[in-house]
Amino acid sequence: MATVAITGAARGIGLEIAAQHVAAGDHVLALPRKASPALEALAASSGGLLTIHECDVADDASVRAAAAASGDGAIDIVYNVAGVTGPIANELEGADWAAWNEAFSIMVQGPLRVLQAFLPRLGEGSKVINVTSQLGASTWPMGGMYAYASAKAALNRLMRSVAIDLKAKGVIIGLVHPGWVQTDMGGPHAEITPSESAAGIRKVAADWTLETSGDFLKWNGENHAW
């Protein structure tokens, strides 16, 4: 039985990753900003495998309180899933800087806050899998969504540095594009379901090694140019 911690577990990809780990018999520490009815139902039916610890990744005190409330046992995988779309309007003539700050606090600083809070419980072979986006790759030929794309690019570079710094401890860092997924963020016409994305992410996470720590992969295991 593995122990995994999942931010953004109230809905979408995070909720599906949680459900699949519960189905596999793993212990899940769900870390939503606010628990959803779907997550509460999953916890109630999990036979104690899933516990909920509300966690606002944009708030350091909230992250540390959630980590403390979740116990002190070893963590096998931390999934950093929490995210926001950010402003999507054309911002060439003006920008919503408050929304930019929120995007960076949640999607760049947030994963680092979570890693810091759980680092004492990560040992050799533990993994921190960060759900990022192809929009954060300099190779992706698409404009717009400036705050979201910039935050994901920053997350990618941040976690490359973290991978180097934690290699001696044996902690593995992963960056994964989840695909274009049928969630509130991806929309109903996206290419794959949350179940397909979560299954791919879980397989990629299971296969990640220290030699490939810091790599940027797609949900199907392919390398993503960036």
Task: Supply the residues annotated as catalytic.
Answer: 148
**Order of strands across the sheet that contains 77-80:** 50-52, 27-31, 3-7, 77-80, 127-131, 172-177, 216-218
Find out whether 122 and 79 touch, Cβ atoms under 8 Å.
Answer: no
Asked if 201 and 129 count as a contact pair (C-beta separation under 8 A), the reply is yes
Cα–Cα distance measured from residue 187 to residue 79, given in angstroms and rounded to the nearest whole number: 22
| Burial of residue 96 (number of CB atoms within 10 Å: 0-12, 13-18, 19+) | middle
Strand, coil or helix: 100: helix
Length of the chain: 226
Q: How far apart are CA 124 and CA 93, in angstroms?
A: 48
Cα separation values, 162 from 36, 60, 99, 129, 144, Å: 31, 19, 26, 12, 28
Give every CB contact of residue 41 below 8 A, 6+ residues apart in sequence: none
Whether the CB-CB separation of 176 and 201 falls below 8 Å is answered with yes
